[in-house]
């Protein structure tokens, strides 16, 4: 996911494929909502880089209904909360690249990136070495985020009687 090019028609879409597999831990799917889901980016810009996407294979915002759009933003909000609990970032970059010219690596399935940021998290290595150093294995980050989600669910059930 992320920067890998994908010209998809649904059946070949990496998001759609991962959802059908029902192997959430292997595919780093952190949460499944009613119309959208949260997934850890396997080509992250930073540790904890999440993506929120609708289940429906759609390339643009205008194709989605109000319920889908609402849940997308709700899951973006929940993602930042989980990242704060699990990784304690100092800020976030949040956005969507819609269309190839806008930088979309997976242009036919809309998704929103949530990239946690820390003071000094960029350096010369990506520029000189053409590589990105991620200081933690994806499985370790996934487990931290799952634990934060469980803690969040316990708090929400205790105060409002609902889960994430």
For the residues of 50-119, what is the DSSP string, one character each? Answer: EEEEESS--SSGGGS-HHHHHHHHHHHHHHHHHHHHHH--SEEEEE---SGGGT-SBTTS--EEEEEE-T
d(CA 154, CA 164): 10
Catalytic member of 49, 57, 109, 111:
111
3-state secondary structure of 30: strand
Residue pair 82/92 in contact (Cβ under 8 Å)? The answer is no
Indicate if 111 belongs to the active site.
yes
Given the structure tokens 């920067």, which residue do they identify? Answer: 3
Given the structure tokens 């929940």, which residue do they identify? Answer: 78
- Residues labelled as active-site residues: 111
């Amino acid at each position: 996911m992320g920067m890998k090019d994908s010209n998809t028609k649904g059946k070949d879409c990496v998001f759609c494929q991962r959802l059908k597999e029902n192997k959430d831990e292997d595919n780093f799917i952190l949460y499944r909502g009613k119309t959208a889901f949260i997934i850890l980016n396997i080509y992250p810009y930073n540790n904890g880089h999440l993506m929120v996407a609708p289940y429906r294979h759609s390339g643009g915002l205008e194709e989605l209904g109000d319920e889908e759009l609402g849940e997308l933003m709700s899951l973006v909000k929940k993602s930042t909360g989980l990242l704060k609990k699990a990784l304690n970032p100092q800020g976030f970059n949040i956005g969507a690249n819609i269309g190839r010219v806008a930088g979309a690596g997976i242009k036919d399935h809309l998704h929103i990136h949530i990239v946690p940021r820390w003071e000094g998290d960029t350096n010369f290595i990506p520029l000189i070495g053409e590589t990105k150093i991620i200081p933690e294995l994806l499985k370790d980050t996934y487990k931290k985020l799952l634990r934060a989600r469980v803690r969040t669910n316990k708090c929400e059930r205790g105060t409002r009687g609902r889960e994430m």
